[in-house]
Structure 1
Amino acid sequence: MCGIFGIIGEYEEEKARKALSSLTHRGPDFCGITQSKNLFFAHHRLSIIDAHSHSNQPLHVKNILLSFNGEIYNFKELKQELTCEFEFKTQSDSEVIIAAYLKWGVEFVNHLRGMFAIALLDDDTLYLFRDRLGKKPLFYLDGKSFIFASEIKALTPFLSNIEMDDDALMSYLSFLAPTPPFTFFKGIKKLAAGEYLTFKDSHAEVKRYFDLMDNKPNVIANKDEAVYMLENLLQESIDIRLSSDVPIASLLSGGIDSATINAYALKNGVSLQTYTLGYKEFAKYDERVNAKESAEFLGLKNQDIEISQDDFIGASDKVLDTLDEPLNDPASVPLYLLFEKIKRDGYKVVLSGEGSDELFLGYRQYFEYLDIESLSKLNNKNWLKKYFRSNFSKNREWEHYKRIFDETLLFRTSGENFTDLQKNELMKRNVKDNQSLKYLKSYRDRFEKSLHADESIWYSYIDLNLFQAEHFLTKLDRVSMAHSIESRTPFLDHKLASAIFSIDPKLRYEDGVTKALLKKISKPHLNEKILSRKKKGFSNPYMEYLINSKKIELIHEVNKQSGLFKKDKLDEYIKGSNSGNFKQHIWGLYVLSVWIKKWLL
């Protein structure tokens, strides 16, 4: 796991080196630079596989330069396949990438299994790749020179002035994080999951090399056959992520996802040290009791970390700085503190359960949306359409029924926050209803052009691409790498995801039970108490902390200067947060206010 950075074109060496140094936390073990006129190609290394210096990057073979962030879990199999055509000098996965490129060209990426952000320079052609499910980030700035980096902070020094990108703002308010290719810094863009960029002759072109919609639907319609296939793929996915030359730990909540990962690791003969978060004086958010029960059942060592309001508030500014741009996920702060402890204990790799909910339908709301979808088949609904058009409510359920009777897209990610009508009411601008659909259009177009027809597949597809890749995985990458820790997510294996998209989608929801297939897979390894626990999620008392510390007042302070929102409507939202309503709306506005104050005021 590492940090990559490069410049194609003119540059000032001192400025380039300073920008590169902002990524040291992503790879403190070694910093490598290859430079010449109009080329600065660099790498910060976090040594996980083959720590020998001969595997340091940038890796230079023939006329090819490589800077690679991530892990290729099938590199040994690829190496065996390529050994007759390439003289390997290291035990690293990075050298295998070059060998694969020399054999297959840009198609090499389709042979990789893992998580990666890759910068590969072949003579005068630069290729940038982001992995299929968006686990590793890659940003770029196409200006006087072309500059790329693992994090935005390495690119901001090259902006002539700081402007907020309006599409980033509007998509953030809607979906918790800016949607690709937008970032909050106008001019800086990001690759989406499954995309690659080619830069040659001062021209950049972005293409897609992977799409879950390409999987043929309904290949498997038998539940037992589906369970057998997915069980084997999950076991394989966890097994290959246990490969490391450094110690591995695991997160453990009270839920089924992390328990399943640890159960399968034990099946492979690996007992992982586990970590759980708790909150001082806020037992309702605490999962330590459940996690302890899971650890005792599995025979695992479990370390719990308790944080207080002072811990949370004390770390929040540092965490929001780490994220570079607004990300509406209050769990980023406690997760940062958890990884801080894990680093102190000497671990460099951590397994985490992201992706299970999206793949196995773990959110109860998926089932509620499927029920609401059925109302679209009503023959006589004109009066309902008129009713919902003439009556407005902030209530989320009202919005959902309105969409159905308006015959517009119902599900717009599990991370939908402010609706367009809420934004129109709150912001000092005209926001048309359904305006935010433009940020989902390319994904919806691919879904509608595919052979998939079941809306539950759409739910998983858009959530994996936005709610997961741009929200949860952004959080996980930044807060883990801030402590030089590599996070691995076994559920987000592209072979496992592709297999789920190839089964009859009804198998996931016909029983009316969340994660029905995963529970069948895990039943031989977990007890009924773990399997039947109500989903809690990574909840925490962020709103209580924000109110008690009076940091919430920053929203009004910044709004007085920025003039983005109507004061009376802002007051309504803040007042509602005191009684537990619109909590994530308010956290999102707070995070936005912190960024605006730092960069624009």
Structure 2
Amino acid sequence: MCGIAGYFASKGSLQDGQSVLSSMIGAIAHRGPDENGIYVDQNAGLGHMRLSIVGLKDGQQPMKNARGDVVISYNGEVFNYVELRDDLIAQGHVFQTSSDTEVILHLYDELGPDCVKKLNGDFAFAIWDQRRRRMMLARDRMGVRPLFYTWHKGTMFFASEAKSLLTVPGIEAEVDIYALDQIFTLWAPIAPRTIFRNIFELQPAHFLLLEGETFKTAPYWQLQYPDRNSAASPRSEDHVAEELLHLLTDATRIRLRADVPVGSYLSGGLDSSAVSAIAAKIVPDRLRTFSIGFESAEHDETAFQMQMVEALGTDHSALTCSTNDIANIFPSVIAHTERPVLRTAPAPLYLLSRLASSEGYKVVLTGEGADEVFAGYDLFREAKVRRFCAAQPTSRIRPQLFRKLYPYLSGLKQQSPEYLSAFFGAGADDIRDPLYSHRPRFRGTAATKMFFSQDLQTALNGYDATADLVSGLPKDFTRWHPLHQAQYLETSLLLPGYILNCQSDRMAMAHGLEGRFPFLDHRLVEFASRIPVGMKLKGLAEKHILKRAVRDLVPQTITARLKQPYRAPDSRSFTAGGMPDYVRDSMSAAAISDTGLFNPVAVEKLVGKCARDNPVGYRDNSAFVGILSTQLWHQIFTTQIQRHAVAAE
């Protein structure tokens, strides 16, 4: 894991390239505190901040091939590098280092840009091919590692984080109002768009080639599902579960490859418990685990975490997160997410990453991705019930199924069938809508836009973020089963755009910590996409086949527990213990008016309501956190002095 930066001046050289690269990598020093390096050619330059994990003594970057005419700066890990290296040696390649970085160089020599198709890993890299005067950028299939690019005065600049690009003289931060609308509707911008106007994100599973005046981006992999009318798999559940466990075990095994110790997060849920249980059987010593709990009982899962610690016998560290903790670190969280967020959930993970890093760990395994890959979210169950109710819209019995979906929302159990139907929008949406599964979420989130200023609404001119999302769906989307459609939306938008970006990579790398995600091994993702929907969501039982696969590894109290999504206190984090000065200042009428994105009068009423009422509803919680984080983003990234402070953090 590292931070990369670079440029390509297709029409000539860049003055002060060395100095520019030095500033760029300095802004992302947190991603790689161990070493740094710079390479400058006539037209191109590469910079690198290194977090040493594989090839500790000989993996310095930027790294050249043996001829010295191909150079790479690389962020991430290629987990199958051992097998790839053996294959390349058998073909006659000679290696100078023990690092996975050199494997990519040799693969590029063999295959050119198609080398990415051989890689099983989480990566973002840049290759400068001096012979062809070609710059290649590439990003992993699932979007684990970030990569951003922009143009300025005919030169393309790129980096692991946008803050690095903002150190280039003449590149300034300006809000992209359409990306802001997308965040306040979909939770994340639709790549390649970002919250920074004219700064773009390379999409997951894409490579970019810039050769002379020729520029193109193209996918090298696409998540696919079978047609809904295709023949059912003849395999039994036992056979599917057996193969699933084999793949998950191998995905975990290769993610334990490192020249430093590897720990594991334990959330108390099925996913991290399964990964930790597998890892505990592989590591030579006691597995080191880390977890976070909450002072608020509705968010705390400590009891389940400790059940797993006892079952696995791990060497465990934990911390408890308070609302004050969230409020205290939230500005730093936004400095690292580099975008507004609608939830405080990234903040506790910032604290957890700091804990693991402070105890000497550079790598942790986590359970992210299982809910997307095996249909674990409540949203999947909710969509199924909504379709079921839509078939008989006058039924009073079917809406009662909604009570089974959210056991942690006690208020729903007392509501009438009519209220439940209205609340969940049963029958309100056209079941042929490609976004049917997500419409209630998008509709509920979009309600926060009532706080947009009149000027912003006028500038948006009726823009519809969901229409943009639909226009980018794969051509085969309509042929997929509704569950697969919902899974695709989660996996292609929310997973890379929010979960991995805001909660995983950024919070871990803020402390020089690399997260590894066995459930996002592309072999496992492809396998799961072919599993019959009834094995993933069996009735209303989520992740059925995963539970069956790990039933001998994870205690029954974990596999049978009711689903509890990872959440954290939202607006209460900033109001329960007295509002911090920075919150009061950022949400003041003067600050809101100065930014110009929100309605000062409406925001003032919102702040008063959140400070007074408990609990606060979904819309107001989302709006409070979204507005505060947008204000912080504006302060951090559009103010030169504060930007430099962030770069030096």
TM-score normalised by L of structure 2: 0.84
Choose from 592, 609, 616 the match for 1:559.
Answer: 592
**Counterpart residue identity of residue 279, structure 1:** F
Which deviates further from its counterpart, 260-269 or 400-409? 400-409
Q: Which of these residues, 314, 339, 351, is aligned with residue 328 of structure 2?
A: 314
Counterparts of 1:200 and 1:346 in 2: how far apart (Å)?
42
Q: Distance between the aligned counterparts of 1:414 and 1:76, measured in 2?
A: 46
- Matching residue of 1:142: 151
The match for 2:6 is 6
Give the aligned residue type for 1:206. T
Of residues 499, 509, 514, the one that matches 1:472 is 499
1:296 aligned to which of 304, 310, 313 = 310
Query: Matches of 2:434 and 2:283 in 1, distance apart?
Result: 51
Write the deviation string for residues 535-588 of structure 1: whole angstroms up to 9, x where unpaired.
233322232221133255433433232343345654665566433212233212
Q: Superposed, which structure 2 residues align to 1:385-464 within 5 Å?
A: 397=423, 401-404=427-430, 407=433, 409-412=435-438, 416=442, 419-420=445-446, 423=449, 427-428=453-454, 429=457, 435-448=464-477, 452-464=479-491
Q: 1 CA distance for matches of 2:332 and 2:424?
A: 38
Measured after TM superposition, the shift of residue 31 of structure 1 is 0.9
Structure-2 residue corresponding to 1:68: 74
The equivalent position to 2:177 in structure 1, one of 140, 162, 166, is: 166
- With over 3 angstroms needed to count, the CA separation of the structure-2 counterparts of 1:403 and 1:559, relative to structure 1, is farther
Match of 1:154 in 2: 164
Distance apart, 1:253 and its partner CA: 1.4
Where does residue 330 of structure 1 map in the other structure? 344
- CA drift at 1:186: 1.1
Question: 1:151 offset after TM fit, Å?
Answer: 0.7
Q: CA 1:263 to 1:414, structure 2 compared with 1: closer, same or farther past 3 Å?
A: farther
Question: Partner residue of 2:106?
Answer: 99
Question: Counterpart in 1 of 2:56?
Answer: 51
> Does 2:93 correspond to 1:86?
yes
TM-score by length of 1: 0.90
Deviates more, 1:157-166 or 1:476-485: 157-166
Q: 1:398 to 1:567 in 2, by over 3 A?
A: farther
Say whether residues 1:207 and 2:218 are aligned partners: yes
Deviation at 1:34? 1.0
The aligned length equals 587
Q: Which amino acid aligns with 2:625?
A: W
- Where 2:436 maps in the other structure, the secondary structure is coil
Would the aligned equivalents of 1:131 and 1:193 in 2 still touch at CA under 8 Å?
yes
- 1:298-342: CA deviation from partner (whole Å, max 9, x where unpaired): 222221112334433222212211222223341221111111121
1:433 and 1:231 mapped to 2: Cα distance? 48
Aligned-partner residue type, residue 524 of structure 2: L
Assess if the C-alpha contact under 8 Å between 2:189 and 2:497 holds in 1.
yes
CA distance in 2, matches of 1:56, 1:500: 36
CA positional deviation for 1:202: 3.4
Query: Which position in structure 1 is the counterpart of 2:37?
Result: 32
Cα distance in 2 for residues equivalent to 1:28 and 1:425 = 41
Secondary structure of 1:242 counterpart: coil
User: 1:352 aligned to 2:363?
Assistant: no
State the shift of 1:70 in Å.
Answer: 0.8
Q: Is 1:498 equivalent to 2:514 in the alignment?
A: no
Name stretches of at least 5 consecutive residues in structure 2 with no aligned partner: 395-418, 640-649
Aligned residue among 565, 576, 581 for 2:617: 581
1:44 partner amino acid: M
Q: Distance in 2 between matches of 1:402 and 1:573?
A: 28
Distance 1:405 1:356 in 2: 26
How far is 1:24 from its partner?
Answer: 1.5
Give, in whole Å, the separation in 2 of the partners of 1:509 and 1:260: 18
Distance 1:72 1:215 in 2: 28
Residue 367 of structure 1 corresponds to 381
Deviations 1:467-522 (A, max 9, x none): 11111111211111111111101111110000011222232123320111111011
Letter in 2 for 1:468: L
Contact 1:555 1:590 in 2 (8 A): yes
Matched, 1:596 2:638: no
AA at the equivalent of 1:596: H
Structure 1 residue 415, shift from structure 2 partner: 6.8
- Are positions 1:16 and 2:21 aligned together? yes
Q: Secondary structure at the match of 2:249?
A: helix
What letter is aligned with 1:445? P
**2-structure distance, mates of 1:498, 1:127:** 26
Distance 1:535 1:231 in 2: 21
Q: Aligned equivalents of 2:557 and 2:515: distance in 1?
A: 28
> Structure 1's 507 and 572: CA in aligned 2 closer, same or farther, altered over 3 A?
farther
Q: Per-residue deviation at 1:38?
A: 2.9
Q: How does 1:144-293 map to 2 (within 5 A)?
A: 144=153, 145-158=155-168, 159-213=170-224, 220-222=233-235, 223-270=237-284, 271-280=286-295, 282-293=296-307
* Counterpart amino acid of residue 617 in structure 2: N
1:524, CA displacement in angstroms? Answer: 0.9
The equivalent of 1:387 in structure 2 is: none
Q: Residue 324 of structure 2 contacts residue 574 of structure 2 at CA under 8 Å; is this kept in 1?
A: no
Structure 2 residue matching 1:127: 3-state secondary structure: strand
The one-letter amino acid of 1:71's match is E
Q: SS of 2:75's equivalent?
A: strand
2:425–2:440: 8 Å Cα contact kept in structure 1?
A: no
Secondary structure of 1:445 counterpart: coil
- DSSP 3-state at the match of 2:473: helix
User: Please, which moves more after superposition, 560-569 or 311-320?
Assistant: 560-569
Counterpart amino acid of residue 561 in structure 1? D
Shift of 1:218: 5.9
**Amino acid in the other structure paired with 1:526:** V
CA distance in 1, matches of 2:33, 2:186: 33
Q: Distance in 2 between matches of 1:569 and 1:54?
A: 54
The structural deviation recorded for 1:418 is 5.1
Partner SS state of residue 256, structure 2: coil
The SS at the match of 2:92 is coil
